[in-house]
Structures are given as structure tokens and as C-alpha cells.
Amino acid sequence: MTAKPENKSQTAQEQDILEGFPLPGYPATRLRRLRSAGWIREMVAEYNVTANDVILPLFITEGQNASEDVTSMPGVARRSIDLTIEALKPAIDLGLKAAAVFPVVPVEKKTIGGEEAFNPDNLICRAVADIKAAFPGLGIITDVALDPYTTHGHDGIVDDGRILNDETVEALVKQSFVQAQAGADVIAPSDMMDGRIGKIRQMLESQGFENTMILSYAVKYASCFYGPFRDAVNSGGFLKGDKKTYQMDPARSGESLREVALDIAEGADMVMVKPGLPYLDIIKTVKEAFNIPVFAYHVSGEFAMLKAASENGWLDYDTALMETLLSFKRAGANGIFTYGAYDCLKLLNKPLKNSA
């Protein structure tokens, strides 16, 4: 499963060409000719970002007509289901194809075992059903992990300070079932427990959800860049300790291939690399090794840095956002979760200018 495809990567092919056919020197070769005007730069571009590439993460909260800004992510808000549907319409009009939904679980519904996660009438299940009713053609991706639902903030079941793998997997299977029942198009386990993809796939097949896709967070690193997200879903303040016993060590890269190989073998349709920017090398390695759809998560901390730098006048947000998304495409990502998805769509829909 880990063998590379026979076809060489683009980089290897380019190297072979350069070695066998050296470029003539200056002035016969002037590489700046193809950079001289906007139209030719756009025409010869090897990569571009389109509306098909971006996925909008949404934070859903209880109530009606409820909205609260996430202070650590300017421009992002927690919204009730009705306002989420209202906010989605302009993005869909601009070409949004998919959204990922994350719950803001009330404190009174958090428990040690996270049982609210597999309540068929929980916030996310209601949100999925209502969003699908409003926008049948929009792809809905649901997060599978217990951390928003637990009083300890971990993605799994805890016993005496240890995260229990197999017991957590059983809970994740139940969580996945109610999400599939609600109408989720893609189940996205982000918990990093061993063996959960196989168990979830078996359940989906046995329960008549054979067309429900699995996007596995196969390569999720223990990272400092998740802080604003944990603020947004109100789990950070509950977290006891860290997640280093189940999320991956940033100092290891080869392990990513083993994680992906196992998840593909267990039934994953797509895989995620998270975070995105610090791990572009991993995205490229995974894509070249498996040629499976690879997604990148432009995570909350990365997004917040762009916003903070922009607000301080240190960079232009629009330009930095599009350059960031392009870097994911160049590395091999097929889809990108980004809090800047709506901003990206607006920029893509701006009238073209004949730039010099």
C-alpha cells in the first residue's frame, strides 16, 4: 500500500529534462520574458486556486438568532443554525461547494464520556439536517471527535489520565452513526485513535451508508496552532494536559506514511494533513506516495496570524491569503479547509484586471 506509483513526480521529470536538455544561456534565455505582463503570467501558471478548492469551517451554537464573534479569529463567529444558514447563502452564491461544521457544546451538556456526541438530536445533527434541507447541493463534512463534548477537553475517553483507544473508538462509531443518519456527506474523524477508520467504515457499510465518505485526519500533529479553534468551540479551557499521546510528533515525518497507509487500508476515501503551512512537505510526500485525495487544514492559528499581521499593517491580508492557499495547491492538496474561504471566493469573483 505504501509503494509509490510508477509515474515520476513532476519535480523528478523536470530534473531529467534539465539534465538531458540544458537550457541555452543568457541572452537567448531570459526567464523574465514570461513574467513581463499579467496576461502571460496567468496563462503559463501551473497552479491556481478555484472555488472548488476551499471548504468553509463553521462554528454552530445553540439558540435562535444568536451570533458571537471569535475574538482570536477576526471575521469568524459562532452562529446559531438559523444564522449559519443565512450566512452560507452568499458564499454558496459565490461558488462554495462544501462546509465543515463544528459544535459549540453548552457546558451543561459536557460529560466525562462525551455522551452528547452520539445523541441523534444533538446540535450538529440538527444543524446538518437543517443545512441540507436549505442547500441540498452543498457538501457537509462533520467532525468526529469527543473533545467538544467532554469535561476534560480530550478527543477520547480518559481513565486515570490515560486516553483509552479502543473504548474511544466504540464511542466514535456511535458518533459517526448519528451524523450519517442526519445526512452528513463526509464523516471526518479528527481524533487520531488507532483503528477507528476501519470500525467506522464497517458500521457505515452495515447500516446502509455505503456512499457516505470518510475523510480521515490521518496526519494530525500535536501543534500550538490550534489555540483559536479551541477557543471557538469552547474546549480549550477544559483541556487537562496535552494531546501528545495521540496526535503526532512534529519531529517525525516518516510516520505520516504509515498513518495514511493504515487508514486507506481501513476504508478512508480521503486524508487530511493538519496543520497546513508548517507541514507542506508532508502534504507533498503523502500525495506523491499514495495519489489519493489529500486535504489540508489552514488552521485557526495560521489564519489568526494573517489577520493580526494585516491589522497591524504588516502585510496585505487578501494577497497573503491567496498566496497561502496557492502554496497548499502547489504542495498537492485537493481541498483546503480555511476560515478565509468566503474571502477567497469574493476575491475570485472580482472582475479581472489587465495587470502589468
Q: Which residues are catalytic?
A: 220, 274
User: Position 101: which residue type?
Assistant: V
Q: Which residues of 20-44 are buried (b: 16+ CB within 10 A; e: fewer)?
A: eeeeeeeeeeeeeeeeeeeeeeeee
H or E element that contains 205: helix 196-206
Beta bridge partners of 157: 164
In angstroms, rounded to a whole number, what is the distance separating the alpha carbons of residues 68 and 285?
39
Residue 189's nearest CA partner among 170, 216, 154 is 216
Q: Are strands 162-164 and 157-159 parallel, antiparallel or unpaired?
A: antiparallel
SS (H, E, C) 117-151: HHCCCCHHHHHHHHHHHHCCCCEEEEEECCHHHEC
In angstroms, rounded to a whole number, what is the distance separating the alpha carbons of residues 135 and 84?
12
Distance between start and end Cα atoms, the chain: 48
Q: What is the DSSP secondary-structure string of 97-122? A: -EEEEEE---GGG-BSS-GGGG-TTS
